[in-house]
Amino acid sequence: MYVCICNALTDKQVISAIARGCAKPSEIYSNYETAPRCGKCAIKMNELIARQNPSPTAAR
pLDDT in tens, 7-40: 999 999 999 999 999 999 999 999 999 999 999 9
The model carries a pTM of 0.85
- Residue ranges of the domains in the chain? 2-53
Q: What is the CATH number of domain 2-53?
A: 1.10.10.1100
Residue 54 has a pLDDT of 77
CA–CA dist 51, 5 (Å, integer): 21
| pLDDT range class, residue 56, cuts 50, 70, 90 | low
**Can you say whether the dihedral through the CA atoms of 35, 17, 15, 25 is positive or negative?**
negative
Q: Rounded distance, CA 52 to CA 33, Å?
A: 22
